[in-house]
Amino acid sequence: MASRPIWRGQLRLALVSCPIALYSVRQPSEELHFHFINPKTGHRVRMVTQDAETDEELSRRDLTRGYEFKKDHYVLLDESDFERARIDSSSVLAIDKFVRADSIDPIYYDSSYYMVPDGSGRDAADDVFVVLRDAIAKTGRVALSRLVIARRERAVALMPMGRGLVLHTLADTREITAPDTLFADIAADPADKEMVALAVQLIDRQTAKFDPGDMQDRYEARLREVIKAKVAGEEIQAPDEGEDEPSNVVDLMSALRKSLGEEKKPAKPKKKAPAKRKAG
């Protein structure tokens, strides 16, 4: 878990509350990082922060934030200005209502954070947290609230996870592209029932438990092999793509049956029975 919480405040349901802390679900990974290099010299390129008008080179720590209220005119803001903009959800996570988990379309889920009691040892605040966690779990519902994080108020969803809770920020509807135009040309008529039944069989056959290991970045693993080979001055061949390239399916029913291993094989010709000898 991260050493420092990204948010501290109160979790509140009606008149019941307890101090909580949020920690980012994601941690710095050992993913590959690349730099821009001048191929002529082999030197790394340095990105410079400079004044757009005077070209003066500046340090980021000396900069302040500004809002452009009209073309090339900015109002400068410091930390005290942001502090004056605080609202209740800056420090209190008040649960507004509860909904069924399946009523939230997955496209709205954004970032995730672990929620834990903010304190040490078992105390009354910890008991409140545990009661709320178990009550939410028992109902099978999701708690909705609002939270100011990274200078934005976000709608959030809370749900039990192990001994704690997990908070998901939800995307604003204005950030979601409506699919109407993209989906408009898709056929509205239902698919052939027999082919759907075959597709369901195929889905059932390949259904298994979710395994986090399935999300491993295989491309990065392969890219590491390429880098290792280049460092060692070795050649590495691109993988043979083979002949299993996607193609237009002319006979969908045949393709589904083939996927299930049910493709009808040509019937074998029946052997003729030996002719009976006549009694002499």
Spans of all domains in the chain: 7-28+85-175
Sheet holding 164-170, edge to edge: 92-94, 7-13, 16-24, 109-117, 164-170, 152-161, 141-149, 97-100
The CATH number that domain 7-28+85-175 falls under is 2.40.290.10
| pLDDT recorded at residue 111 | 92
Decide: 260 and 205 in contact? Cβ < 8 Å. Answer: yes
pTM: 0.73
Per-position pLDDT tens, the chain of length 280: 457 899 999 999 998 899 999 999 987 767 788 899 999 999 999 888 988 889 899 888 889 999 999 998 999 998 888 888 888 888 999 999 999 999 999 999 999 999 999 875 556 668 889 999 999 999 999 999 999 988 889 999 999 999 999 999 999 988 899 888 889 888 888 888 988 998 999 889 888 888 888 878 788 888 888 888 888 888 877 777 655 555 555 587 788 788 888 655 555 555 555 555 555 4
